[in-house]
Every structure is written in C-alpha cells, then in structure tokens.
Amino acid sequence: MIKVNLLKQAKKGVSQKEINIYKQLIVGGVAVAVFLAIIIFMELNMRGKISSTKDNITQLNQKMVQLNKVVNEINNFKKMKDQIKAKLDIITTLEKNRTAEIHLMDELSKSIPYDPSSVLSKKLWLVSLQQHGDLIGMDGVALDNSTLAQFMDNLSKDPYFSNVNLSKTEQVKSNDLLLYKFSLTCKFNPMPGNNMTGTTQKTL
C-alpha cells in the first residue's frame, strides 16, 4: 500500500502545465538550434562567395596586368612605326631634293653658252647659286653683254625655268679682261606642266 501511494503521489507531482513548459522549452531549443544552423550556413556561404570574389578579382588583376603589357607593346610598336615613317619621309624628301638639285645644275649647265671653237669655250660662269623653294638666285660673270642675253634666252626657253629676271649687271675688270658681272633670279620647276612657258625680263 505504501508503494502504491508513493506512485500516485509522484504522478500527482507532475502537472500538465509543467509538461507544456517542457514542450515549449524543447521546441524553443530546436528553433534556436535551427536558427543557429541557418546563421552558420549563411555565414559559410557568404565566406565562400567572398573568397570566390577575391579569386575573381585576383584573376582579373592578372589579366589587367597582361593587357597593360600588350597595350604598352602596341603603343611602343606604333611609336616605332611613326619614327620609321618620319625617317622614311625625311629620306624621301632628301632624295627628291637631291634629284631636283642635280636636275637644276644639269639644266643650268645646258643653258650656259658654249663655243668649242673659241679659246674660252665657256663665255659665262656662275659664281654663286641660292635656292628658296622654287625661287633661284644666281650671281655670275659673262664675257660680254650678248653672252648674258643668250644665257637668259636659253633659260626662258627651258620648260624647267620661268620668270627669268636680270636684277643687276655691271662691268668689272679682271686680269685685263672687261667682264659683265650679273645677278638674276628665276623660278625652277623640276616637274614642269605641258602648258608652262618661261618668260624673260631683260634690263641690259
């Protein structure tokens, strides 16, 4: 009888309210555990994304460095190309000028009066020659007035020369010879057009 009473007393000691409290505590504990698990999962997921983003940034930075090297090489190549082109342009210009100068001297030589039967085969000598663009200035001496006139006439008939103008002439004596010192200007065109004609202005 005593044991039975004790059991009944024990059963009577746990009320329904306490059982409900225990259930609520268990449910609350499970909810907290689930919440913590979610937080931990989200934290790990976020760390993974951050790590992946950092790896992507590192890869992009490496690619950027490589691209910068390529861009620098391209820029250097362009600079070298421009420098080579500039040098080639200078060489081409110098070659054209050299060819034009040779052609100028050749045409002038053809225009100088020449008499192989005379003791002095050449009757006119050029002392100096200046060129400013297409304008040619020259100084020289001639044996006589007619030689100078013939020289100017030859220049005017040459399609490479135009606007032949005698700017100065004077008689000078050299080694008992009476010479005509002169200065004249003209225009030189190394590539004359078909319709280009020379003109002469004489003041003798």
Contact indicator for 204, 145 with CB cutoff of 8 Å = yes
Reference 167, options 196, 191, 195, 200; nearest CA is 200
pLDDT digits (tens, 9 = 90+) for 49-81: 888 888 888 888 888 888 888 888 888 878 888
Tell me if residue 188 falls in helix, strand or coil: strand
CATH number of 98-201: 3.30.1360.100
Tell me if residue 118 falls in helix, strand or coil: coil
Reference 188, options 146, 125, 137; nearest CA is 137
Residue 119: predicted pLDDT: 47
Q: Which residue has the higher pLDDT, 150 or 20?
A: 150
pLDDT band at 109 (very low <50, low <70, confident <90, very high): confident
Give the residue extent of every domain in the chain.
98-201
- The C-alpha atoms of residue 203 and residue 194 are separated, in whole angstroms, by 28
Q: What is the 8-class DSSP label of residue 153? A: H
| C-alpha of 78 from chain center | 7
Q: Is 6 exposed, middle or buried (0-12, 13-18, 19+ CB in 10 A)?
A: exposed
Tell me if residue 5 falls in helix, strand or coil: helix
- The C-alpha atoms of residue 19 and residue 21 are separated, in whole angstroms, by 5
Q: Using the predicted structure, report yes or no on whether residue 37 has a pLDDT greater than 90.
A: no
